[in-house]
Amino acid sequence: MTFRALPGRVTGFLGPNGAGKSSTLRVLLGLDRPIAGAALVDGRPYRTLSDPLRTVGSMLDGSGAHPSRTARDHLAWVACSNGISTLRVKAVLEQVGLESASRTRVGKFSLGMGQRLGLAAALLGEPGALVLDEPVNGLDPEGIRWIRGLLRGHADAGGTVLLSSHLMSEVAEIADDLVVIADGRIVKTGTVADVTSGYATLEDAFFGLTGDTAGQSR
Protein backbone atom coordinates (compact mmCIF):
# COMPACT_ATOMS: atom_id res chain seq x y z
CA MET A 1 0.00 0.00 0.00
CA THR A 2 1.59 3.26 -1.12
CA PHE A 3 -0.06 6.69 -1.13
CA ARG A 4 0.54 10.31 -0.13
CA ALA A 5 -1.68 12.83 1.64
CA LEU A 6 -0.69 16.21 0.26
CA PRO A 7 -0.63 19.73 1.74
CA GLY A 8 -3.57 21.88 0.76
CA ARG A 9 -5.72 18.79 0.24
CA VAL A 10 -8.22 16.74 2.23
CA THR A 11 -7.55 13.05 1.65
CA GLY A 12 -10.36 10.62 2.46
CA PHE A 13 -9.20 7.14 3.53
CA LEU A 14 -11.97 4.63 2.88
CA GLY A 15 -12.45 0.90 3.29
CA PRO A 16 -14.77 -1.72 4.83
CA ASN A 17 -14.42 -2.71 8.47
CA GLY A 18 -11.24 -4.73 8.89
CA ALA A 19 -9.66 -3.43 5.68
CA GLY A 20 -6.72 -1.92 7.58
CA LYS A 21 -7.60 1.78 7.88
CA SER A 22 -7.05 2.15 11.61
CA SER A 23 -3.95 -0.07 11.51
CA THR A 24 -2.46 2.11 8.78
CA LEU A 25 -3.09 5.27 10.80
CA ARG A 26 -1.60 3.66 13.91
CA VAL A 27 1.54 2.75 11.96
CA LEU A 28 1.75 6.31 10.63
CA LEU A 29 1.61 7.67 14.19
CA GLY A 30 4.18 5.24 15.56
CA LEU A 31 1.70 3.28 17.67
CA ASP A 32 2.27 0.04 15.76
CA ARG A 33 5.38 -1.16 13.94
CA PRO A 34 5.05 -2.41 10.36
CA ILE A 35 6.60 -5.70 9.32
CA ALA A 36 7.95 -3.96 6.23
CA GLY A 37 7.86 -0.56 4.60
CA ALA A 38 7.67 2.89 6.18
CA ALA A 39 5.08 5.51 7.06
CA LEU A 40 6.46 9.04 7.15
CA VAL A 41 5.34 12.50 8.23
CA ASP A 42 7.18 15.25 6.36
CA GLY A 43 9.66 12.60 5.24
CA ARG A 44 10.40 11.33 8.75
CA PRO A 45 9.04 8.57 11.02
CA TYR A 46 6.66 9.99 13.62
CA ARG A 47 8.82 8.67 16.46
CA THR A 48 11.75 10.85 15.35
CA LEU A 49 9.81 14.15 15.27
CA SER A 50 11.19 16.61 17.80
CA ASP A 51 7.85 18.40 18.25
CA PRO A 52 5.25 15.83 17.20
CA LEU A 53 2.14 17.73 18.27
CA ARG A 54 3.32 20.81 16.40
CA THR A 55 3.77 18.72 13.26
CA VAL A 56 0.76 16.42 13.23
CA GLY A 57 -2.42 16.46 15.31
CA SER A 58 -4.31 13.20 15.55
CA MET A 59 -7.49 11.66 16.87
CA LEU A 60 -7.90 7.90 16.60
CA ASP A 61 -10.05 6.82 19.55
CA GLY A 62 -12.07 9.81 20.66
CA SER A 63 -10.60 12.14 23.25
CA GLY A 64 -8.37 9.63 25.04
CA ALA A 65 -9.02 11.57 28.24
CA HIS A 66 -9.39 10.04 31.70
CA PRO A 67 -13.08 10.31 32.67
CA SER A 68 -12.29 11.91 36.04
CA ARG A 69 -10.38 14.81 34.50
CA THR A 70 -11.98 18.02 33.34
CA ALA A 71 -11.63 19.02 29.72
CA ARG A 72 -9.36 21.90 30.66
CA ASP A 73 -7.10 19.75 32.84
CA HIS A 74 -6.80 17.09 30.14
CA LEU A 75 -5.73 19.63 27.53
CA ALA A 76 -3.37 21.38 29.97
CA TRP A 77 -1.63 18.06 30.60
CA VAL A 78 -1.29 17.37 26.88
CA ALA A 79 0.02 20.91 26.28
CA CYS A 80 2.62 20.68 29.05
CA SER A 81 3.82 17.27 27.90
CA ASN A 82 4.56 18.76 24.47
CA GLY A 83 6.04 22.07 25.58
CA ILE A 84 3.01 24.02 24.37
CA SER A 85 1.80 27.12 26.19
CA THR A 86 -1.31 26.49 28.28
CA LEU A 87 -2.73 29.64 26.71
CA ARG A 88 -3.58 27.39 23.80
CA VAL A 89 -5.97 25.41 25.99
CA LYS A 90 -8.50 28.22 26.20
CA ALA A 91 -8.11 28.94 22.50
CA VAL A 92 -8.82 25.39 21.33
CA LEU A 93 -11.71 24.93 23.77
CA GLU A 94 -13.31 27.98 22.20
CA GLN A 95 -12.45 26.75 18.72
CA VAL A 96 -14.26 23.44 19.21
CA GLY A 97 -17.18 24.91 21.16
CA LEU A 98 -16.38 23.45 24.58
CA GLU A 99 -15.52 26.61 26.51
CA SER A 100 -18.70 26.34 28.62
CA ALA A 101 -17.85 22.73 29.50
CA SER A 102 -14.17 23.30 30.26
CA ARG A 103 -14.59 22.45 33.96
CA THR A 104 -16.85 19.45 33.34
CA ARG A 105 -15.40 16.00 33.97
CA VAL A 106 -14.94 14.09 30.74
CA GLY A 107 -16.89 11.12 32.09
CA LYS A 108 -20.03 13.24 31.86
CA PHE A 109 -19.45 14.17 28.21
CA SER A 110 -21.67 12.93 25.41
CA LEU A 111 -20.05 11.08 22.51
CA GLY A 112 -20.13 14.26 20.43
CA MET A 113 -18.49 16.32 23.18
CA GLY A 114 -15.79 13.68 23.51
CA GLN A 115 -15.13 13.98 19.79
CA ARG A 116 -14.79 17.75 20.10
CA LEU A 117 -12.33 17.31 22.97
CA GLY A 118 -10.26 14.92 20.87
CA LEU A 119 -10.18 17.50 18.10
CA ALA A 120 -9.14 20.18 20.57
CA ALA A 121 -6.14 18.05 21.59
CA ALA A 122 -5.25 17.52 17.93
CA LEU A 123 -5.29 21.28 17.34
CA LEU A 124 -3.25 22.25 20.41
CA GLY A 125 0.11 22.47 18.64
CA GLU A 126 -1.27 24.28 15.58
CA PRO A 127 0.04 21.39 13.43
CA GLY A 128 0.44 21.40 9.69
CA ALA A 129 -1.13 17.95 9.35
CA LEU A 130 -4.27 16.44 10.86
CA VAL A 131 -4.84 12.67 10.99
CA LEU A 132 -8.36 11.79 12.07
CA ASP A 133 -10.21 8.47 12.38
CA GLU A 134 -14.01 8.86 12.20
CA PRO A 135 -13.96 12.51 13.34
CA VAL A 136 -17.70 13.11 12.83
CA ASN A 137 -18.77 10.07 14.86
CA GLY A 138 -21.38 11.16 17.41
CA LEU A 139 -21.67 14.73 16.15
CA ASP A 140 -25.05 16.29 15.47
CA PRO A 141 -25.78 17.96 12.09
CA GLU A 142 -24.49 21.30 13.36
CA GLY A 143 -21.31 19.64 14.59
CA ILE A 144 -20.79 17.84 11.28
CA ARG A 145 -21.18 21.11 9.40
CA TRP A 146 -18.74 22.76 11.80
CA ILE A 147 -16.02 20.13 11.39
CA ARG A 148 -16.48 20.22 7.62
CA GLY A 149 -15.65 23.92 7.68
CA LEU A 150 -12.76 23.40 10.11
CA LEU A 151 -11.05 20.76 7.99
CA ARG A 152 -11.72 22.55 4.72
CA GLY A 153 -10.27 25.74 6.19
CA HIS A 154 -7.19 23.87 7.42
CA ALA A 155 -6.51 22.48 3.96
CA ASP A 156 -7.22 25.76 2.21
CA ALA A 157 -4.62 27.39 4.46
CA GLY A 158 -2.02 24.91 3.20
CA GLY A 159 -2.45 22.18 5.81
CA THR A 160 -2.73 18.45 5.23
CA VAL A 161 -5.83 16.49 6.27
CA LEU A 162 -6.03 12.68 6.25
CA LEU A 163 -9.33 11.36 7.51
CA SER A 164 -11.06 8.02 7.71
CA SER A 165 -14.85 7.89 7.78
CA HIS A 166 -17.78 5.61 7.03
CA LEU A 167 -20.03 8.58 6.16
CA MET A 168 -19.68 8.60 2.39
CA SER A 169 -21.82 11.69 1.88
CA GLU A 170 -19.57 13.71 4.18
CA VAL A 171 -16.38 12.42 2.58
CA ALA A 172 -17.75 13.28 -0.87
CA GLU A 173 -18.57 16.76 0.43
CA ILE A 174 -15.19 17.61 1.90
CA ALA A 175 -12.48 15.45 0.31
CA ASP A 176 -10.24 16.41 -2.60
CA ASP A 177 -8.54 13.04 -2.95
CA LEU A 178 -9.53 9.50 -2.02
CA VAL A 179 -7.68 6.33 -1.12
CA VAL A 180 -9.93 3.26 -1.15
CA ILE A 181 -8.62 0.02 0.34
CA ALA A 182 -9.90 -3.54 0.75
CA ASP A 183 -8.15 -6.47 2.44
CA GLY A 184 -5.14 -4.29 3.20
CA ARG A 185 -4.58 -3.24 -0.40
CA ILE A 186 -5.40 -0.13 -2.39
CA VAL A 187 -8.16 -0.68 -4.93
CA LYS A 188 -8.48 2.92 -6.17
CA THR A 189 -6.91 6.32 -5.65
CA GLY A 190 -7.50 9.70 -7.24
CA THR A 191 -9.69 12.74 -6.94
CA VAL A 192 -13.30 12.29 -5.91
CA ALA A 193 -14.27 12.69 -9.57
CA ASP A 194 -11.76 10.00 -10.59
CA VAL A 195 -12.97 7.49 -8.02
CA THR A 196 -16.68 8.05 -8.65
CA SER A 197 -16.37 8.03 -12.45
CA GLY A 198 -18.98 5.60 -13.80
CA TYR A 199 -20.95 5.54 -10.55
CA ALA A 200 -23.92 7.61 -9.42
CA THR A 201 -22.52 8.33 -5.94
CA LEU A 202 -19.41 7.78 -3.84
CA GLU A 203 -21.33 5.14 -1.89
CA ASP A 204 -22.01 3.21 -5.10
CA ALA A 205 -18.35 3.54 -6.08
CA PHE A 206 -17.24 2.32 -2.65
CA PHE A 207 -19.36 -0.82 -2.78
CA GLY A 208 -18.42 -1.48 -6.39
CA LEU A 209 -14.70 -1.11 -5.75
CA THR A 210 -14.50 -3.01 -2.46
CA GLY A 211 -17.06 -5.71 -3.18
CA ASP A 212 -18.64 -4.93 0.19
CA THR A 213 -21.87 -6.84 -0.36
CA ALA A 214 -22.44 -6.93 3.40
CA GLY A 215 -22.43 -3.13 3.38
CA GLN A 216 -24.90 -3.05 0.51
CA SER A 217 -27.35 -5.17 2.48
CA ARG A 218 -27.20 -3.06 5.65
**Mean pLDDT calculated for residue range 83-107:** 94
Q: Which domain holds residue 146?
A: 10-64+128-217
Q: What integer pLDDT is reported at residue 63 of this predicted model?
A: 63
Other beta carbons within 10 Å of 166: 16
Under the banding of pLDDT at 50, 70 and 90, the label for residue 104 is very high
Percent of residues, the chain, with pLDDT higher than 90: 77
In the β-sheet with 10-14, what is the strand arrangement from edge to edge? 56-59, 129-133, 160-164, 10-14, 177-182, 185-191
pTM over 0.85: yes
Give phi and psi for 122, each to the nearest 5: -65, -30
User: Is there a domain that residue 192 lies in?
Assistant: yes
pLDDT at position 64? 76
Q: CATH number of the domain that 59 lies in?
A: 3.40.50.300
Cα dihedral 166, 20, 174, 72, rounded to 10, equals: 90
Residue type, 217: S
| Total number of domains constituting the chain | 1
Could you report the per-residue pLDDT of 184-196, keeping only the tens digit for each? 999 999 999 999 9
What is the pLDDT confidence band of residue 217, given thresholds at 50, 70 and 90? very low
Which residues are 70's β-sheet partners? 105
Q: Tell me what the pLDDT averaged over the chain comes to.
A: 91
